Amino acid sequence: MRRATRLALRALRALLVVLVAGWAAAQGYYPAETGYSWTYSSGETQTLSGPRELQGREVMVLTHYLGGLPVSEDYLDYGEAGVLSYGSASGGQLFPYDPPIVVYPPEPLTPGAKWTSTTQLPGFSLTLDSEVVGLRGVATSAGRFNALLIRQTTLTSNGGQTLLDIYFVPTVGIVRFVMQDGTTIDLIEKTF
């Protein structure tokens, strides 16, 4: 192969690396743009909107829909501290989190990473205890992914406990949930 051709191929490879890296950076490690939505095999669609003001703070709103009807909202901040939840709403009732819950720590997530966050709600405390336990290949109707498996335990001060396995893909979001009872919920479509 001629030297000029080799140099041109190297330059093209370098340009592709820069473009892919730029695309990934533009997408955001934790997807957080107004209009993004994820639809799951459970029939739930999650749609991101905002920003909106919540108790003096600008947050993004993740609305959960079932059968096309909104059933709950999460109030999220995407920033240098990672992804923080400042509360949720369901049934017309607002549940502010004070302090906010750390949903995800600052990027990037790596196997072995652990984080715990506790907040106060009227009458009880809520703790999220999370750990990235490894990488897993995941195939859904939305595609094939190399996902970070996050094991999340939710504890309440009044004795409640649930376990959830979350399969998270940077720049995509959650592609699979596995509930405590073994029920699997897969991403079937995303709109970005």
pTM of the model: 0.85
Amino acid at 171: T
Among 152, 140, 139, CA closest to 109 = 152
Give the helix ranges, DSSP H, for the chain: 3-27
User: Could you read off the pLDDT of 142-157 as tens digits, one per residue?
Assistant: 999 999 999 999 999 9
Q: Where are the domains of the chain?
A: 29-190
Q: Write the pLDDT tens digit of every residue in 79-126.
A: 999 999 999 999 999 999 999 999 999 999 999 999 999 999 999 999
For the domain made up of 29-190, give the CATH fold: YmcC-like fold (2.40.360)
